[in-house]
């Protein structure tokens, strides 16, 4: 994975202004690339995997002449032999090359950059990286822009370069699965769980707990996770390459690799009741690399989740010493995922400590700190070289996924630009603290998760459809990919889940929901839909509606994800294709609080309620769903009758109007 993104988000974005000194390189986040056609079996020319399949960005933007480094995981038994990609036309550089080194600085290769004005927009490259040192089943690679011209490197704009379509070619023979440790290889393609047709609640819970654990462990990789029901005692079909099969079933407690060393190898996770769920602890704590045997047994469950107090230091959140050099203007962004910060909170007091280069009397420097684009602190920097600031982030600036601090630094030295002018260095002190004020209303909308499920939540399946465990597993995996904290599902019945005070995932038809105290954004009574606008809208759709809904449940001080249908469960299937992308199931693709589809199978993502909670909640929307912040929206639920089509048209127009009202509000961070 890209360095520095393990549990916090840190982006250094030097501005490309005239007069800037060389700053750090920046990798474009969120570029998943195309992994739909990945083959995980080696060919005569090797196994070629796009970087997105390895949990890395397939496109990288480089600024300045500092190195940008990445760690490339190696499939078991394979070595990295070649790096392939495309170089785009460079900016602010007349001639030069892209240098590629390993983690110890060993030169691996170079790619000549097309000269300015040559007309070459994109040039493919293919570099031998077989000499890179392997460490911990991975190789470290770094990219550096090397200008060849006699340009003024101090006072001219930073050189810029984009490389895209990055792929690594591997050679060798994949190791056979022989132990629990190498069953969970550094790189996987697909994991299929096999559960009995008559799975007990303990077996269902073990599947979902394993799904949550693997979702977190392979969060940066597009590992597809699915569940298949089969007769109790059946053997799963063989898997190959990077794919794995896991059977979860009642039996003697333990994790056992069956048929080790053969293509028929699979993992059996077994036990009885709590003894079965206990076995998941090895994966949930991410300590399976220690299980270097074909069979292991967990006798006592453990947890890797540390209990943090209301005040935590940046270093406790694995953040510290982040810095940026600036001459002119530079940006630094620091973000904390809400799941790291414990139970729900409605405000955060920040005590920020930072060190910087003392500013000479005739020079000028300043810092402006924003959160969700609102200014929360500003100050002039002086000759003390020390920043000690306290400010509060209230509910109006808190994002539902991240607590973000965006630093904008400016520096004008006291002498003209030249080779003897040094930049101003600004460095965050890891002893800075966050103090959470616990409480606030439950959050609503898709962006409220995973924080509203963390760490313990209940899951209920009403049994009215054949694929309910698969639906639950896909949602748990998608949400777990976004969580930095362990998620612990508990399977209960629908009535208990509906009345619980912890977060819930409920998969039940509309008749089962009708008998509970739940009030989802789109309720149903037979073929009648009750849409919870300020003035309720009723639609009669006799062909049925399937939906995934995410909403606050203020009466029980929690939030709920509901998967439901007013007719057959086939209406729900297209919804999972809607947020399944090149990087797997991507929960961040969902906006608002309802994803619905009718008989035509055309999913529509809308917002019915404000994201902050129930109808009475004043909590602001997450920046990931602010297109609905100025009102209530419903539209495109289904177009089966003229009345529904008319209502949809009006409401979609209303949504477009609200988007225009929102204007330039941006999208916040969500992984």
pLDDT in tens, 627-639: 232 232 233 333 2
Reading the block at residue 650, the tokens are: 């009006």
Helix orientation angle between 468-480 and 201-217, rounded to the nearest 10 degrees: 30
CA–CA separation, 247 and 269 (whole Å): 6
Phi, psi of 358 (to 5 degrees): -55, 140
Mean pLDDT within 656-666: 35
Pairing of β 558-565 and β 503-507 = parallel
Q: Would you place residue 321 in the very low, low, confident or very high pLDDT band (cuts 50, 70, 90)?
A: confident
Mean pLDDT within 582-607: 91
Q: Are 243 and 197 in contact (CB under 8 A)?
A: no
Whether residue 205 has pLDDT greater than 80: yes
Q: What is the pLDDT of residue 644?
A: 38
Q: Are 522 and 529 in contact (CB under 8 A)?
A: yes
Mean pLDDT within 37-53: 71
Q: Are 341 and 29 in contact (CB under 8 A)?
A: no
Lowest-confidence region among 265-279, 451-465, 484-498, 648-662:
648-662
The structural domains of the chain, ordered by start, are: 1-174 (2.60.120), 180-296 (3.30.379), 305-440 (2.60.120.260), 446-662 (no CATH)
Quote the distance between the C-alpha of residue 156 and its chain's center. Answer: 37
Nearest CA to 617 among 401, 445, 447, 502? 445
Q: What is the pLDDT of residue 414?
A: 86
Q: Would you say how long the chain is, in residues?
A: 671
Q: What is the pLDDT of residue 138?
A: 95
Helix (H, G, I), strand (E, B) or coil at 603: coil
What is the residue-averaged pLDDT of the chain?
A: 84
Lowest-confidence region among 33-42, 150-159, 404-413, 502-511:
33-42
- 153-159-161 Cα angle (round to 5): 155
pLDDT tens digits, 278-295 = 999 999 999 999 999 999
CA–CA separation, 274 and 322 (whole Å): 43
Quote the distance between the C-alpha of residue 662 and its chain's center. Answer: 25
Mean pLDDT within 236-254: 95
Higher-pLDDT residue of 570 and 617 is 570
Q: What is the pLDDT of residue 638?
A: 32
Helix intervals (H) in 63-121 = none
Helix (H, G, I), strand (E, B) or coil at 281: helix
Within 13 Å, how many C-alpha atoms sit on residue 354's CB side?
26
Q: Would you place residue 415 in the very low, low, confident or very high pLDDT band (cuts 50, 70, 90)?
A: confident
Mean pLDDT within 551-580: 95
C-alpha separations of 303 from 213, 271, 278, 281, 596 in Å: 12, 19, 11, 7, 37
Q: Would you place residue 35 in the very low, low, confident or very high pLDDT band (cuts 50, 70, 90)?
A: very low
Contacts of residue 283, defined as CB under 8 A and 6 or more positions apart, other chains included, come to 184, 210, 213, 214, 217
C-alpha gyration radius of the chain = 26
Quote the distance between the C-alpha of residue 323 and its chain's center. Answer: 24
pLDDT tens digits, 9-29 = 344 333 333 333 333 332 322
C-alpha separations of 486 from 62, 210, 283, 317, 671 in Å: 34, 11, 11, 15, 15
pLDDT tens digits, 539-553 = 898 889 999 999 999
CA–CA separation, 82 and 7 (whole Å): 30
pLDDT tens digits, 99-126 = 999 999 999 999 999 876 666 788 999 9
C-alpha separations of 13 from 98, 153, 156, 245, 332 in Å: 20, 18, 17, 42, 6
pLDDT tens digits, 445-488 = 999 999 999 889 999 999 999 999 999 999 999 999 999 889 99
Q: What is the pLDDT of residue 555?
A: 96
């Amino acid at each position: 994975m890209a360095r520095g993104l393990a549990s916090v988000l840190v982006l250094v974005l030097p501005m490309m202004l005239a007069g800037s000194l060389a700053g750090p390189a920046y990798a474009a986040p969120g570029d998943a690339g195309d992994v739909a056609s990945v083959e995980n079996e080696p060919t005569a020319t090797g196994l070629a995997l796009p970087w997105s399949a390895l949990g890395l960005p397939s496109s990288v933007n480089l600024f300045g002449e500092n190195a940008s480094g990445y760690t490339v995981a190696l499939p078991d038994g394979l070595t990295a032999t070649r790096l392939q990609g495309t170089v785009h036309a460079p900016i602010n550089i007349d001639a030069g090359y892209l240098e590629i080194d390993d983690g110890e600085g060993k030169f691996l290769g170079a790619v000549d950059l097309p000269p300015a004005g040559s007309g070459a927009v994109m040039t493919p490259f293919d570099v031998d990286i077989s000499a890179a040192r392997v460490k911990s089943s991975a190789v470290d690679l770094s990219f550096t822009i090397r200008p060849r011209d006699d340009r003024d490197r101090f006072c001219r704009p930073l050189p810029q370069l984009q490389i895209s379509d990055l792929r690594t070619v591997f050679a060798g023979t994949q190791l056979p699965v022989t132990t629990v440790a190498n069953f969970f290889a550094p790189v996987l393609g697909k994991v299929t769980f096999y559960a009995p047709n008559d799975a007990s609640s303990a077996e269902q819970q073990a599947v979902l707990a394993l799904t949550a654990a693997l979702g977190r462990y392979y969060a940066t990789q597009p590992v597809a996770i699915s569940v298949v029901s089969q007769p109790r005692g059946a053997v799963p079909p063989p898997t190959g390459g990077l794919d794995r099969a896991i059977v979860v079933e009642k039996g003697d407690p333990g994790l056992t690799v069956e048929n080790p060393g053969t293509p028929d190898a699979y993992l059996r996770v077994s036990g009885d009741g709590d003894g079965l769920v206990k076995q998941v602890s090895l994966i949930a704590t991410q300590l399976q690399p220690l299980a270097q045997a074909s069979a292991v047994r967990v006798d006592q469950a453990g947890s890797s989740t540390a209990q943090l107090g209301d005040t935590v230091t940046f270093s406790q959140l694995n953040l510290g010493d982040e810095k940026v050099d600036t001459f002119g203007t530079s940006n630094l962004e620091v973000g904390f995922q809400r799941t790291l910060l414990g139970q729900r909170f409605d405000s955060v007091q920040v005590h920020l400590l930072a060190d910087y280069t003392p500013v000479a009397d005739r020079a000028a420097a300043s810092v402006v700190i924003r959160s969700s684009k609102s200014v929360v602190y500003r100050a002039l920097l002086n000759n003390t070289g020390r920043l000690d600031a306290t400010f509060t982030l209230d509910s109006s600036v808190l994002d539902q996924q991240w607590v973000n601090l965006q630093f904008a630094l400016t520096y004008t030295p006291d002498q003209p630009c030249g080779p003897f002018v040094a930049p101003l260095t600004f460095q965050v002190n890891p002893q800075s603290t966050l103090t959470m004020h616990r409480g606030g209303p439950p959050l609503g909308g898709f962006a409220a998760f995973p924080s509203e499920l963390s760490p313990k939540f209940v899951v209920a399946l009403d049994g009215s459809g054949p694929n309910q465990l698969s639906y639950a597993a896909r949602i748990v995996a998608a949400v777990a990919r976004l969580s930095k904290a362990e998620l612990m599902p508990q399977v209960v019945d629908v009535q208990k889940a509906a009345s619980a005070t912890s977060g819930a995932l409920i998969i039940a038809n509309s008749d089962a929901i009708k008998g509970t105290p739940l009030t989802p954004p789109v309720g149903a009574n037979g073929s009648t839909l009750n849409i919870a606008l300020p003035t309720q809208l009723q639609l009669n759709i006799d062909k049925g509606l399937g939906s995934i809904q995410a909403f606050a449940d203020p009466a029980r001080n929690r939030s709920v994800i509901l998967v439901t249908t007013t007719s057959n469960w086939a209406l729900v299937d297209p919804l999972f294709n809607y947020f399944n992308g090149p990087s797997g199931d991507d929960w961040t693709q969902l906006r608002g609080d309802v994803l619905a589809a009718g008989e035509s199978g055309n999913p529509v993502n809308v917002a019915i309620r404000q994201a902050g909670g129930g109808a009475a909640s004043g909590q602001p929307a997450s920046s990931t769903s602010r297109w609905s912040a100025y009102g209530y929206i419903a539209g495109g639920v289904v177009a089966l009758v003229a009345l529904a089509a008319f209502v949809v048209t009006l409401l979609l127009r209303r949504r477009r109007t609200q988007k225009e009202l929102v204007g330039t509000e941006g999208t916040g961070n969500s992984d």
